[in-house]
């Protein structure tokens, strides 16, 4: 199963004060941590022009929730959280085509007695 974890983030003024090169360095650290975690793929979306609740969404796609967990713990050890540059506003997880996986599992089990 493929999981998508949507991390809604609010970047702080300290982040905005950084030079763009320093922001790129921090983002590269996050990408390296994702690569070390294994099957963790990242997509980044800016939302500040469209949403007042958070400024960015980090989509993390994985087949391995333990890999996601290890990635997230490693990110929490970076300056993104220690300064902090970012605040987590909400985390939502979804399963890609979860209904289809459920239908296959139910079909494999056969009918329930009395159906």
Higher-pLDDT residue of 111, 80 = 80
Give the helix/strand (H/E) hosting 5: strand 3-11
62-66 mean pLDDT: 94
Which pLDDT does position 105 carry in this prediction?
A: 85
Residue found under tokens 């399963």: 95
pLDDT at 56 over 80: yes
Higher-pLDDT residue of 109, 21 = 21
């Amino acid at each position: 199963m493929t999981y998508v974890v949507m991390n809604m983030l609010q970047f702080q003024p300290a982040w905005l004060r950084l030079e763009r090169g320093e922001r790129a360095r921090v983002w590269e650290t996050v990408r390296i941590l994702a690569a070390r975690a294994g099957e963790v793929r990242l997509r980044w979306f800016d939302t500040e022009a469209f949403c007042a609740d958070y400024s960015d969404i980090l989509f993390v796609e994985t087949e391995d929730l333990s890999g996601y967990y290890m990635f997230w713990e490693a990110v929490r050890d970076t300056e993104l959280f220690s300064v902090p540059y970012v605040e987590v506003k909400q985390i939502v997880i979804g399963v890609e085509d979860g209904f289809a996986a459920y239908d296959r599992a139910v079909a494999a089990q056969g009918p329930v007695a009395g159906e």
